[in-house]
Amino acid sequence: MGQAWGFGRYGGPEVQEFFDRPDPAPGSGEVLVRVGVAGVNPLDHLLRAGLVPGLDGGRPFPRVLGMEAAGTVLAVGADVDGLEVGDAVFGFALTGGGTYAETTVLSAANTARIPAGLPVTVAATLPVAGTTAVDALDQLGLPADATILVNGVGGGVGLAVAGLATARGLHVLGTGSSAKREQAEAIGVRFVDYTAGDVVAMARDLVPDGVDGIVDLVGGPSLRTVASLAREPRNVIAVGDQSVPEVGGRFVERRLDRENLARSAQLALDGVLVPVVGAVHPLSDAPAALAAVENGHAAGKVVIKVT
Ligand SMILES: NC(=O)c1ccc[n+]([C@@H]2O[C@H](COP(=O)([O-])OP(=O)(O)OC[C@H]3O[C@@H](n4cnc5c(N)ncnc54)[C@H](OP(=O)(O)O)[C@@H]3O)[C@@H](O)[C@H]2O)c1
């Protein structure tokens, strides 16, 4: 039995609640994990609101929030290769375990060992923000010296993309509100404050010929505005807005497998992929953690430290 935080029905923050739940039994291809740190993501509140029913597996209520975690394997289900009790691991809860909890089940195929020397808190940021950064930049496939714009640079994915791109020798412009400037500039981003005027005009002051690629984390009208800065429309990669083909761009192709997780962990260990953890909340403070992401202006990656 352990404490968990989730929701009793679809709705806004008012449907969220703490409750006790028995440790979930790991099914075939799953591992039971004592959660050390859980990552908080925009998809979490969208699932709570019932906006992505295709992803919640139709599980009974109450449901536990959260889809990524790092922790320690407590038990191994059938048909699991390469993971053992006692392993420090990080990965995805794709089958409904929910990770804002003392224990959860992770999908073994989407879980990897944490390499020695990598902090658990960093590992917890890799399934979503870390591998998304790797995937988006791999998909763009631009050479060193190319210039990209990261639209929404101040959040969990944006700072990870910007750091990895800089380490690969790309020149990076990033958009965000003024509170994000210092953090972004610290990792080499030329910052455009979208609250200070015409974003495209301000960016053109820095890159008169536009950019070689865009990684968009904002979507909607913002994506449509900045897309004009890309010299090649197909080099607009959107991470959250699936309507991106309307501006000639592509939606990010995600790789959630163990191999890509292990690769992102190695990049993090090498100091090449540097997820920026903006806030660490205890489980008892999970409502504030999710609210910080739900308000749309999170700074860096928000995580919940469970044990
Ligand atoms: N497809 C996938 O597998 C996948 C994986 C990860 C994330 N995503 C999606 O990607 C998106 C970003 O995720 P995230 O975890 O980085 O979110 P996040 O941590 O909440 O960050 C979003 C950032 O965007 C900034 N922002 C908001 N409006 C903006 C605007 N008009 N211009 C520039 N910046 C703006 C916000 O702060 P300021 O406004 O204060 O600058 C905030 O820092 C979400 O839609 C998420 O669901 C998808």
Helix (H) or strand (E) holding 49: none
Which letter does DSSP use for residue 101 in this model? Answer: B
Give residue 94's identity as a one-letter amino acid code. L
Looking at residues 118-146, what average pLDDT do you find? Answer: 98
pLDDT over 80 at 118, yes or no = yes
Q: Does ligand 1 lie within 6 Å of residue 156's CB atom?
A: yes
For ligand 1, pick from 47, 51, 217 the residue to mutate: most ligand atoms within 8 Å of CB: 217
pLDDT digits (tens, 9 = 90+) for 197-238: 999 999 999 999 999 999 999 999 999 999 999 999 999 999
d(CA 304, CA 66): 10
Q: How far apart are CA 211 and CA 207, in angstroms?
A: 7
| Residues 299, 40: Cα–Cα separation, whole Å | 12
Residue whose CA is at the smallest distance from ligand 1 atom 18: 155
Name residue, tokens 């002051």: 205
**Residues 6+ positions from 232 with CB-CB distance below 8 Å:** 212, 213
Please state, in angstroms and as integers, the Cα–Cα distance from residue 184 to each residue in 62, 268, 276, 278, following that order. Answer: 38, 18, 10, 12
Domains located in the chain, CATH noted: 2-125+275-305 (3.90.180.10), 128-251 (3.40.50.720)
pLDDT band at residue 1 using 50, 70 and 90 as cut-offs:
confident
List pLDDT tens digits, range 36-61.
999 999 999 999 999 997 887 678 89
The whole-model pTM stands at 0.97
Helices (H), the chain: 42-48, 120-123, 131-140, 156-167, 181-186, 199-206, 220-226, 258-269, 286-294
- In angstroms, what is the span from residue 225 Cα to ligand 1's centroid? 16
Ligand 1 site, residue 53, Cβ cutoff 6 A: no
Give the amino acid at 185. Answer: E
